[in-house]
C-alpha cells in the first residue's frame, strides 16, 4: 500500500471485438477480453466521445445551474452546463467555453480544471472533465438558438451549500453537478481554488491539441 493512491493505465488483451450498434454520437462494443488466468470473457460497453462540464461561479459565489429533461431517467434534472466533445482531439477548454456560452449565455475570465472522472467505467468509457469558471459575466450578442429538450431549460444561481444539501438529501442526482459541487467544497476547505490544475492540464483519457 502506498501513501498516495493513483489510478494506472492498463489494458488486458482483447482477442476479438464487434460493434453491434452504431448511433449518431455513441456506439456499443463487445470485446472478448483475456483475464489474468487465461479465461476469455465478453464485455459489452458504450463507446463515448467524452464530455466537458462547467461549474461556474458568479461574483456572489453562486453556482450557475440549468434544469433539463432527461428521457432515459424520466426526470428533469438540475445540472451544470455540459456537452459532448464532438470533434476528435478537440481542446476541452474550448468546448467548455462553447457550452457555457450556448447553454447559459455567459462567459468567464478565470478557468481551472476542477476534477476529471469516468462516469460509469463498468459499462461506458465516457470521460468527463469538469472545469471551474470564475469571473462570470453576461455574454454579448444574441443568445444561441435552442431546440428539443434545451428549449425548456430553466436557469438559476444558487449557493454551493444548497447543492451540497440537495445532493446529500437525495434531491439532486446529476453526476457532474454532484461531483463538481463536492469537488469545489473539497478545494475550498483544503488548498484553495488557486491550487487547482491549470485549464490546459494534460488529460490522458482524452488527449487534445493545444
- C-alpha cell at position 184: 469545489
Q: In what order do the strands lie in the sheet with 51-56?
A: 82-84, 51-56, 127-134, 110-118, 197-198
**CB of 193 within 8 A of CB of 96?**
no
Cβ neighbours of residue 210 closer than 8 Å, sequence gap 6 or more: 91, 200
d(CA 30, CA 23): 15
Judged by DSSP in three states, 102 sits in: helix
The DSSP bridge partners found for residue 44 are 30
Residue 150 appears among annotated catalytic residues: yes
Rounded to the nearest angstrom, the gap between the alpha carbon of residue 80 and the centroid of all alpha carbons in its chain is: 9
Place of cell 493512491: 5
Catalytic residue among 32, 102, 107, 150: 150
Phi then psi for residue 145, to 5 deg, are -70, 130
Residue numbers annotated as active site: 150
Amino acid at each position: 500500500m502506498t501513501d498516495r493512491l493513483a489510478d494506472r493505465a492498463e489494458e488486458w488483451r482483447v482477442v476479438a471485438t464487434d460493434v453491434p450498434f452504431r448511433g449518431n454520437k455513441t456506439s456499443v462494443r463487445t470485446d472478448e477480453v483475456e483475464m489474468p488466468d487465461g479465461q476469455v470473457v465478453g464485455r459489452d460497453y458504450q463507446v463515448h466521445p467524452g464530455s466537458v462540464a462547467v461549474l461556474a461561479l458568479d461574483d456572489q459565489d453562486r453556482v450557475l445551474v440549468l434544469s433539463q429533461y432527461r428521457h432515459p431517467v424520466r426526470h428533469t434534472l438540475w445540472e451544470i452546463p455540459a456537452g459532448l466533445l464532438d470533434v476528435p482531439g478537440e481542446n476541452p477548454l474550448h468546448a467548455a467555453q462553447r457550452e457555457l456560452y450556448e447553454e447559459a449565455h455567459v462567459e468567464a475570465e478565470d478557468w481551472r480544471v476542477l476534477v476529471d472522472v469516468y462516469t460509469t467505467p463498468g459499462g461506458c468509457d465516457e470521460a468527463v472533465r469538469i472545469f471551474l469558471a470564475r469571473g462570470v459575466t453576461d455574454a454579448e450578442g444574441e443568445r444561441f438558438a435552442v431546440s428539443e429538450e434545451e428549449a425548456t431549460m430553466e436557469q438559476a444561481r444558487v449557493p454551493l451549500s444548497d447543492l451540497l444539501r440537495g445532493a446529500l438529501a437525495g434531491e439532486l442526482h446529476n453526476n457532474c453537478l454532484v461531483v463538481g459541487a463536492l469537488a469545489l467544497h473539497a478545494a475550498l476547505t483544503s488548498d484553495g481554488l488557486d491550487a487547482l490544475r491549470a485549464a490546459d492540464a494534460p488529460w490522458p483519457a482524452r488527449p487534445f491539441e493545444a
